[in-house]
Amino acid sequence: MTKISFASHPFLLGFEQLDRLVERTAKSGNEGYPPYNIEQSAENVYRITLAVAGFREQDLSITLENAQLVIRGRQVDDSDGRMFLHRGIAARQFQRSFVLAEGVEVGGASMENGLLHVDLRRALPDTVVQTIEISKK
């Protein structure tokens, strides 16, 4: 059976990478931890907010890997010598990935009240219209 994708359309030249991106995103897990919000505060300004209660700044890492924003959290298990009658707050690790479009840059990150904020902005291109000269042979 032949695989058909939207990038195989003859009018969509050079969109193979986008096709692979859609396929990779569809394969990624839909785990709900930690919960997050994505907001748009201006036309080209975005914010990703993750609920990371119990994590410290040093427990979190934010990296940009091939246009993919990866946020990882790993808590140190400090339960030695403590006896829990009920343990509902798990000290588990996580990895949350967001694929960024071309031109989207990470502006910074901050922690506030158990929420990790990652600010993004889209850089505007310098040239919108480009004229192509026809060369003579």
Domain containing residue 118: 32-78+85-122
Mean pLDDT of 59-69: 91
Say whether both 4 and 39 belong to one domain. no
**Is residue 103 a contact partner of residue 123, using CB atoms and an 8 Å limit?**
yes
pLDDT tens-digit readout, 66-87: 888 999 999 877 777 888 888 8
The CATH number for 111's domain is 2.60.40.790
Average pLDDT, the chain: 83
Cα torsion through 34, 38, 41, 43, rounded to 10: 150
Residue 45 has what pLDDT? 95
Mean pLDDT of 97-115: 92
Say whether both 4 and 41 belong to one domain. no
Say whether both 20 and 37 belong to one domain. no
The type of residue at 130 is: Q
Residue 41 lies in a domain: yes
Q: Which two tokens stand for residue 102?
A: 């071309």
The DSSP call for residue 28 is: S
Residue 123 has what pLDDT? 85
Residue 89 lies in a domain: yes
Mean pLDDT of 5-18: 69
Say whether both 26 and 42 belong to one domain. no
Residue 127 lies in a domain: no
Mean pLDDT of 107-127: 89
- What value, to the nearest 5°, has the Cα angle with vertex 57 and ends 50 and 105? 60
pLDDT band at 50, cuts 50/70/90?
A: very high
Residue 40 lies in a domain: yes
Say whether both 69 and 90 belong to one domain. yes
| Total domains, the chain | 2
Residue 94 has what pLDDT? 93
Q: Which two tokens stand for residue 4?
A: 């058909």
Say whether both 91 and 36 belong to one domain. yes
